[in-house]
Structure 1
């Protein structure tokens, strides 16, 4: 019983710190958010932050992981509404690019994340995205929608295109204009894989 209560307390502490950091990073950005402010807003100490996340960078990673999980749910919902595997793949990819215009995602995931944590294509969550895209490409080849191609190569190219487009959109002076250009270009690239009669 005591062990279960301790696990619950740890989870609550982590959740408070992540929520506090998420609000601060979205409002002020990573660099302007002090650890003292983050912990005070959560009603906790710096020790709790260090114990649970190691440092502020570890807390940023936890916030990005949370946002990323929410993004994946939304992308999955967009995919499920589509009438075919191909349309689902396209809707999922475009939804990802569209989310890069949302202020919280834009600032935390697309701008501060790469600046602090490095190349997003090397983040742990990208491996899961790559596997999902590879599986989709294989399914599209099996049904004859996509011509024979190495699924890993195609997945890496398409994921890279969507990621780089999203980074471009997030940092643009006119993100709406850039989104339109990026979606058009992504469609052209992806449609190059389609089986031609």
Structure 2
């Protein structure tokens, strides 16, 4: 005796099942909420426009140091360690270097005598990709899509080379936060 045959669902029934199991169509994925903002930002930078971006999220955090001779020596040391330092922005007006480090670094960054690490809710202005000299902030080490500056080696380089003056007091006055 053969077993009763099951009736195969129609194409319409299968499609309805897929639609119902997919969930609400109007709900964006949680990790994609900032995607449009990120794309607009990257397109603006690529289009050679300075662009203000929010730190943290999936992009990067920033370590801030002075931009004196010791900091330049740290860039050279990171060049050797990384085979070309990750992205660093120089702001001649403030006398600072902004080292772009992996997102989440600020959460793990212990107080440092010569550097401060910031994340959200703070912002930074990225210079256009073709700006490699003053006036204004420029790419001391251009941004490469495949790397950021690793915090461990950077932290050690800054502790060894001790760039002065430190940014702590200036940032406390500007941002109203203590380090």
TM-score with structure 2 setting the length: 0.28
Structure 1 or 2: more strand by fraction? 2
Q: What is the TM-score with the length of structure 1 in the denominator?
A: 0.26
Larger RCO, structures 1/2 (Cα 8 Å, 6+ apart): 2
